[in-house]
Amino acid sequence: MVHKQDILLHINETLTDQNKEALLHCMTVRYGITRSDIDLNKPHLMFISYDAEQYSPHDLIKFAQSCGVHAQLIDL
């Protein structure tokens, strides 16, 4: 059973449109994140839905780093 969890990451880098697409692709394809979105009005924020049974929030920060950005968890 999937235990869906939503979190918000703050991305430190300023991302171009191409960087945003690459990051979204990396998070969904490489790591199987079920949904990830970057708000066009706040491009430094990334909303992620993931399986909390499979990953921890700290895993998602590591995944973002392996995709080439530095990120911090924002508690909702």
Q: What is the pLDDT of residues 13-66, one digit of tens each?
A: 998 889 888 998 998 888 878 778 887 788 788 888 888 899 999 999 999 999
Would you call 22 helix, strand, or coil by DSSP?
A: helix
The reported pLDDT for the residue numbered 63 is: 93
Q: What is the pLDDT of residues 8-18, one digit of tens each?
A: 999 999 988 89
**pLDDT-derived band of residue 69, with 50, 70 and 90 as boundaries?**
very high
Neighbour-count burial of 43, counting CB atoms closer than 10 A to its CB (0-12 exposed, 13-18 middle, 19+ buried): middle
Note the pTM of the prediction, 2 decimals.
0.82
Fold topology of 4-74: Alpha-Beta Plaits (3.30.70)
**pLDDT-derived band of residue 76, with 50, 70 and 90 as boundaries?**
low
Q: Yes or no: say if 47 and 34 are a contact pair by the CB < 8 Å rule.
A: no
Q: Yes or no: say if 32 and 43 are a contact pair by the CB < 8 Å rule.
A: no
- Of 53, 51, 26, 56, nearest in space to 38 by CA: 26
